[in-house]
Amino acid sequence: MPYLFTSESVSEGHPDKVADQISDALIDNFLAFDKESKVACETLVTTGQVILAGEVKSNTYLDVQQIARDVINKIGYTKGEYMFDGNSCGVLSAIHEQSDDINRGVDRATKEEQGAGDQGMMFGYATRETENYMPLALDLSHRILKELAKLRRENKDITYLRPDSKSQVTIEYSDDNIPQRIVAIVVSTQHDDFGTDEVMLSKIRKDIVDILIPRVKAQLPEDIQNLFNDEITYHINPTGKFVIGGPHGDTGLTGRKIIVDTYGGKGAHGGGAFSGKDPSKVDRSAAYATRHIAKNLVAAGICDEVLVQVSYAIGVVEPMGIFIDTYGTCPFNMTDGEIAQKVSEIFDMRPAAIEERLKLRQPMYSETAAYGHMGRQNETITKTFSQPNGENISLDVELFTWEKLDYVDKVKTAFGL
C-alpha cells in the first residue's frame, strides 16, 4: 500500500539556525588562526541578546562579540523593528578553557593515536532517490528555503520577506519505495506588516505558489519535476500572520535542528549536534565520515540505500564497531555484516584518520550551519578572517569534502566489481 513521508527544513534566519551559524563562525575563526584548536561553543539567541558559552583550547584570541554580530548582519537581521539586529543586540561571552580531563583523552604523543572526543554513535545515510543521494522530501524542503532566501535578498519579485522561515514537504511513495507525487507543501515565512491579515495572506500565498515554487521546480531534473501536480495541498503561513519572528519570536539554541541538518528523519540519528564542535568531537567528524561511506557505497552500486553506524568511547582510538543496513537493496549475495567488514577494511575510522581524509581542520563549517550538512556541493572557495589586532588571513577552503565520490573505485575493487 502506498505511504506518505514528510521532512522539514528551516531557514538561515530561524532562531536555532542563527545560533548554529554563530557557533560555527567561532569554530572557523579559531581554526583559521590555530588549526589545532579544540572548541565546543554553544549559542543562545533571544530578543536583543546573544549568549555565548563553551570550552576552548587555542593559541589565538578572537573578538567573539564582533564575529557574532557579523553573522547576524549577514543573515539579514539589520533592522531595529525585528527586535534583534547585529548592530544593537547585546553579546555576552561565557566561553572558558577546555577541561583537562576531556583534553587528556584526545591529545596524544602522536596525532594518529588521537582518542575520540566523546562517546556515542553516529549515522550516515545515502539513497539513489536524488542526484545528490539525499532523501527527496528533505532535498525539496531545503531548496524551497534557499530559493526563498534568494528572493528576499533580491528584494524585487517579493519585497516583504523577513529572514525567518520554515518549509515542509510530504511525498507519496509506492510499495517499492519509489516517489510517486508530492502531496503537500508547507511554507511559513516571516514578513513585513503591509496590510490586513487577509490581504497579506492572500498576497503571500500567491507569491509562494506562483513565483517561489516555479523557481524551485525549474532547478530539478525532469523526473522530479513530474512529481509536482495540480493537486498539491499548499499550507502557506497557516496561522494567517507571521510578522513577529526570529529570536524575538522564539529563543534559538545551538544544536536543536539535528534532523534538518542530516536526513530529514530518514535513516537514523545518534543524537549529537554538529555546530560549534571542532572535528575532534566525533559527533561531528564521524557523522561526516559515515555519510562519505554511505554515499560512496551507493554510488559504487553496492546498494540503492544504506545506513552506516559507527560508535566510539571517549579517549579510545578505534571505534567500537561499524554497522551497515542496506534495507535489502544489495543486488548480490552479501550480508550486511559482510559489507560492514569490507567497509572497516576500506575506511580508517580512527578520529585522526577521519580528520586527515576529509580535511576537517579547515575553517569550513560556517557553510554547513544552514540548509543541511549533507547533500551539499563540494567546492573550494577563498575565505578571509580577521583578528582584533588587525591581522587578516585569506585561505583556500575546500567545503563539504564528505560529499566527494573519491572512494567509488576503491569500493568497487574491494568488492570485486
In whole angstroms, give the CA distance from residue 48 to residue 69: 11
In 3-state terms, what secondary structure has residue 259?
Answer: helix
C-alpha cell at 204: 503571500
Cell match 535489502: residue? 328
Annotation-wise, does 17 bind a ligand?
A: no
Judge contact between 293 and 103, C-beta under 8 A: no
Residues whose CB falls within 8 Å of the CB of residue 152, separated by 6 or more in sequence, listed in order: 76, 158, 161, 162, 163
Question: Is 165 annotated as a binding-site member?
Answer: yes
Q: Note the Cα 299 to chain centre separation in Å.
A: 21
To the question of whether residue 412 is assigned a binding role by annotation, the answer is: no
198 is in an annotated binding site: no
42 is in an annotated binding site: yes
Residue 345 annotated as lining a ligand binding site:
no
Q: Is 257 labeled as ligand-binding?
A: yes
98 is in an annotated binding site: yes
Known binding residue 150? Answer is no
Q: Which residues pair with 309 in a beta bridge?
A: 123, 323
* Residue 122 contacts residue 286 (beta carbons within 8 Å): yes
Pairing of strands 90-97, 49-57: parallel
> Is 166 annotated among the ligand-binding residues?
yes
State yes or no: 379 annotated in a binding site. no
What's phi and psi for 193, nearest 5 deg? Answer: -90, 100
Residue numbers belonging to the annotated binding site: 14, 16, 42, 55, 98, 164-166, 241-242, 250, 256-257, 273, 277, 281
Residue numbers belonging to the annotated binding site for K(+): 42
Residue numbers belonging to the annotated binding site for Mg(2+): 16
Residue numbers belonging to the annotated binding site for ATP: 14, 164-166, 241-242, 250, 256-257, 273, 277
